[in-house]
Structure 1
Amino acid sequence: MVENEGIRRYVAHAILWLGIAIVAFPVYLAIVASTQDAASIANGQMSLLPGGHLLETYYKTIFVGTSGSTREPVGVMLLNSLVMALAIACGKIAISIISAYAVVYFRFPLRMTIFWLIFITLMLPVEVRIYPTYKIAADLQLLDSYAGLTLPLIASATATLLFRQFFMTVPDELLEASRIDGAGPLRFFWDTLLPLSRTNIAALFVILFIYGWNQYLWPLLITTRDDMQTIVIGIRKMITTSDALTEWPVVMATAVLAMLPPVVVVVVMQKLFVRGLVETEK
């Protein structure tokens, strides 16, 4: 039995390492390609070992730009994507937690009707309401602005539902104790509910940050200037119709840079993220 258990453990570890290799190899190729010269990649003679153009390629990518259909440096695109992702994540969490708090702890007419109306919006993603949303943004002169990139995407029925379900598990004794201590609704929300919601907020922040960072369709429609485009749009515009004209080292360096912020967010908030997903006792 002990020998069989050891064999199964080794097989499981081998499968896991194989999965890691399959996932990591394309990332490794992108990193290696970003250090090669354009001619080697275009001719199909790229080495699997890093080249000698690392600093040159990344300096050009971040500060100079490419000769494709977009000429803005990737540093500008990274800033735009970062602002968009942070604004969407923080805005969704702020609006959702306040909405859920109002639905759970305040008694007002049509309270559940309003909640179900919010819930029904899950069936209306951005792709379905793209034209009226764009029309409103254009009428409000939000094109080519951070407000236009973020405001139409900050409402989240999913986050509201998750916060509502969590608030319903909070014991009523905490609310009664706060009232006895003379705490009002805002004090109870700030001193009691927010600390208890820390892991949920962290888990949602990671998910929503990646959601905002990977947006493609909405930034493609709302931005017309190169200096307002996000890095996801920039990668697509760098790839021309002819492989010979595409600066593949710059494209690969941009792809590597585009991966870094989501990876950093996941690594930094990993413990809170996992606790927010699996923790059952509040």
Structure 2
Amino acid sequence: MIGQSPTGIYIAHAILILGVIVVAFPIYYTFVASTHSLQTILRPPLPLLPGDRFIENYSEALFGGVGRIGGVPVWTLLFNTTVVALGIAIGKIIISILSAYAIVFFRFPLRMTFFWIIFITLMLPVEVRILPTYKVMVDLGLIDTYAGLIVPLIASATATLLFRQFFLTIPGELVEAARVDGAGPFRFFKDILLPLSRTNIAALFVILFIYGWTQYLWPLLVTNDNQMNTIVIALKKMVSFADADTEWHLVMVTAMLAIVPPILVVVLMQRWFVRGLVDTEK
């Protein structure tokens, strides 16, 4: 194999370093731009080293507000996006694990029919059902609310399928042993299934959190008030067709702050994420 020779090791490391540079340089350049004044950014070329306006720019964006989005501070956008991302991730996991638990461990009429109905919804993305969903949100008065941002997105056929496939691998002897010990459905779910599923839950949480954090189309439709904008929507509104009308230093600050939470989630949960993809812990 290539990694067994010194030359192969050097080549592998060179490729990895090149890949890191290609991926990380745009992020670094964005950070550099976020530490310079607007005049410096508009007068190319942009320096490759950070400037002296780090504290001023980040303070202005976080607490002072951005003009093109109604003076809303970025910390409000971060709070909104965090609530939406957590709500979508936790809601999808709860609904999916409960539905998979019912399909696998309970016997009731049309059980598999319901599963296939859930599975078929994979063919119906948000864009297909967006008009009727928006009409329902309007009728329920959920425009410009966290519920309106979260509830239509918390059902997940993919997560249900993944939990179902995992539950099907649990030995029947374990279920029988729990029944002999007098464990009811709730105790079996809480004391046995949840501990066994924790790595799967962690892996899905990372994926679903990033999915909720990067949502654009649905938040764009269901929010009219700038105070309820997510950070992705705000970034789009902050950019004007004319460079002179865009506060690029604040745009760069917002872009940097927008990528920090997903990166933290991936870094902090990397171990669980990998184990959830390759281990079953049974």
TM-score category of the 2 structures, normalised to the smaller one = over 0.9
For 2:234 and 2:2, locate their aligned partners in 1 and report how far apart those are by CA, in whole Å: 55
Specify the alignment match of 1:178 in structure 2: 178
What pairs with 1:51-66 in structure 2 (closer than 5 Å)?
A: 51-66=51-66
Structure 1: gaps spanning 5 or more residues: none
Specify the alignment match of 1:107 in structure 2: 107
Q: Give yes or no for contact 1:69–1:240 (8 Å, CA) kept in 2.
A: no
AA matched with 1:190: K
Q: Render the CA deviation track for 1:30-72: whole Å, top value 9, x for unaligned.
A: 1000000101111214211110000000001111112224421
Tell me, what secondary structure is at the counterpart of 1:51? coil
What pairs with 1:246-257 in structure 2 (closer than 5 Å)?
A: 246-257=246-257
Q: Give yes or no for contact 1:70–1:234 (8 Å, CA) kept in 2.
A: no
Q: Render the CA deviation track for 1:170-205: whole Å, top value 9, x for unaligned.
A: 011111111111110010000000000000000000
For 1:3 and 1:125, locate their aligned partners in 2 and report how far apart those are by CA, in whole Å: 43
Specify the alignment match of 1:25 in structure 2: 25
Query: Within the alignment, does 1:142 sit opposite 2:142 as a pair?
Result: yes
For 1:71 and 1:141, locate their aligned partners in 2 and report how far apart those are by CA, in whole Å: 25
Q: 1:41 to 1:2 in 2, by over 3 A?
A: closer
For 1:45 and 1:71, locate their aligned partners in 2 and report how far apart those are by CA, in whole Å: 29
Q: Render the CA deviation track for 1:51-101: whole Å, top value 9, x for unaligned.
A: 000000000111111222442111000000000000000000000000000
Point out 4+ residue stretches in structure 1 off by more than 6 angstroms: 1-4
CA RMSD of aligned residues (A): 1.5
For 1:242 and 1:270, locate their aligned partners in 2 and report how far apart those are by CA, in whole Å: 40
Query: Within the alignment, does 1:220 sit opposite 2:220 as a pair?
Result: yes
For 2:66 and 2:196, locate their aligned partners in 1 and report how far apart those are by CA, in whole Å: 47
For 2:4 and 2:226, locate their aligned partners in 1 and report how far apart those are by CA, in whole Å: 60
Specify the alignment match of 1:77 in structure 2: 77
Deviates more, 1:61-70 or 1:118-127: 61-70
Tell me, what secondary structure is at the counterpart of 1:46? coil
Deviates more, 1:240-249 or 1:224-233: 240-249
Query: Within the alignment, does 1:90 sit opposite 2:51 as a pair?
Result: no
For 1:280 and 1:254, locate their aligned partners in 2 and report how far apart those are by CA, in whole Å: 39
Deviation at 1:235, TM superposition (A): 0.5
Q: Render the CA deviation track for 1:223-253: whole Å, top value 9, x for unaligned.
A: 0000000000011111112101211111001
For 2:273 and 2:128, locate their aligned partners in 1 and report how far apart those are by CA, in whole Å: 30
Q: 1:96 to 1:206 in 2, by over 3 A?
A: same
Kindly, what percent of the aligned residue pairs are identical?
63
Specify the alignment match of 2:200 in structure 1: 200
TM-score (normalizing by structure 1): 0.97
Tell me, what secondary structure is at the counterpart of 2:5? helix
Q: Give yes or no for contact 1:85–1:209 (8 Å, CA) kept in 2.
A: yes
For 1:210 and 1:69, locate their aligned partners in 2 and report how far apart those are by CA, in whole Å: 23
For 1:26 and 1:179, locate their aligned partners in 2 and report how far apart those are by CA, in whole Å: 56
TM-score (normalizing by structure 2): 0.97
AA matched with 1:26: P
Deviation at 1:158, TM superposition (A): 0.3
Deviation at 1:279, TM superposition (A): 1.5
Q: Give yes or no for contact 2:88–2:208 (8 Å, CA) kept in 1.
A: yes
Specify the alignment match of 1:164 in structure 2: 164
